[in-house]
Amino acid sequence: NMHNRARYLIFFQYIGTKYRPVNPVSLSVSSRTDTGVHALSNSAHFDLQRKNDKLPFTEDVLVQALNFHLGTEQIRITRAHRVPHDFHARFRAQSRTYVYRIALGISHHSLLPLTDWDLCWSLRNTELNVDAMHEAASLLLGTHDFSSFRAVNSDLPFKNPVKTMDVISIQQGNSFAYAHFHREIPSWELTFTSKSFLYKQVRRMTGAMVAVGQGLLSVPQLKKILEARDSLAYPQGMAAPAHGLFLTRVDYRDTGENKNQL
């Protein structure tokens, strides 16, 4: 009976946890993130059929019920939309945006304010060569075979390594509690937007851009890594850690679901 079965697109947040749906509802998530990565706005769709011919939940009631059901889990449903029965959260997504947060001049991670603990990559460097990083960003911008920037996983043989980076930007950031903290922590945010990314691609691009900013890697060396099109060409241990990375936005331009603002 289709009239009481509804498909919903939900947007949700989590901090560094692996989201495990606690109910048997089959959830199709738009963007799979590695363990330790955060989401300010991931999305998923699922079908819900109510018993005894009851009408589908309204969107507001669904959000409240899901959050109540999740209890103390580090995950929050921010909103829901009824969508057509053929809508797919992953395949219909037009773009995904990730932001990577970096804090500078932190000689020991205990010097970070609690509000940034495990929510950024803290570096000892007091400054980075941002001009060189911009050069690195423009090298990675656009359409390339990003084989060198993907980590090996079981998807490897099936995924096309050619991706188009629509945005790679570097701007000054802030500590989450910067207005209330007793000292200024220099911070940067790297933003990446693409229709889709390879496994650990953002962390590998970030690690390489930071290495360029630290003078550990030159832009010509980065170009060589990109042109090698080989995940083994990427220097071991250079990838940025998971805990600085945030999925901030999933866009659905053609569906009327482009309400993806926090």
Q: Quote the pLDDT of residue 76.
A: 94
Query: Maximum distance among all alpha carbons in the chain?
Result: 66
User: Across the chain, what does the average pLDDT equal?
Assistant: 90
* Final residue of a structural domain among 91, 125, 158: 91
Q: What is the pLDDT of residues 108-128, one digit of tens each?
A: 888 898 889 999 999 999 999
34, 118, 145, 166: the active-site residue:
34
254 within a domain of the structure (yes/no)? no
Is residue 220 located within the same domain as residue 236? yes
Is residue 72 located within the same domain as residue 103? no
List Cα–Cα distances, 149 to 8, 128, 241, in angstroms. Answer: 34, 22, 14
Token readout for 83 is: 């969508």
Say which residue, 87 or 24, is predicted with more confidence.
87
Q: What is the pLDDT of residues 148-207, one digit of tens each?
A: 999 987 776 678 999 999 999 999 998 877 777 767 889 999 999 999 999 999 999 999
Q: What is the pLDDT of residues 212-243, one digit of tens each?
A: 999 999 999 999 999 999 999 999 999 999 99
Is residue 84 located within the same domain as residue 103? no
Is residue 200 located within the same domain as residue 241? yes
Check pLDDT > 80 for residue 130.
Answer: yes
259 within a domain of the structure (yes/no)? no
Distance of alpha carbon 76 from alpha carbon 254, whole angstroms: 26
34 is catalytic: yes
Q: Quote the pLDDT of residue 262.
A: 30
Distance of alpha carbon 123 from alpha carbon 142, whole angstroms: 28
Check pLDDT > 60 for residue 24.
Answer: no
Is residue 73 located within the same domain as residue 194? no
DSSP per residue, 10-40: EEEEESSPPP--SSS---EES----TT-EEE
Per mean pLDDT, which range of 14-18, 40-44, 188-192 is the poorest? 14-18
Q: Quote the pLDDT of residue 218.
A: 98
* Final residue of a structural domain among 91, 107, 136: 91
**pLDDT band for position 53 (50/70/90)?**
confident
Q: Quote the pLDDT of residue 254.
A: 59
What are the binding residues for substrate?
Answer: 98
What mean pLDDT is predicted for residues 129-136? 98
0.85 surpassed by pTM: yes
Q: Quote the pLDDT of residue 140.
A: 98
Distance of alpha carbon 158 from alpha carbon 129, whole angstroms: 37
Q: Quote the pLDDT of residue 175.
A: 82
**pLDDT band for position 244 (50/70/90)?**
very high
Distance of alpha carbon 30 from alpha carbon 212, whole angstroms: 32
What are the binding residues?
Answer: 98
Q: Quote the pLDDT of residue 260.
A: 46
> Which residues form the domain of 182?
95-249
Q: Quote the pLDDT of residue 2.
A: 60
Is residue 67 located within the same domain as residue 130? no
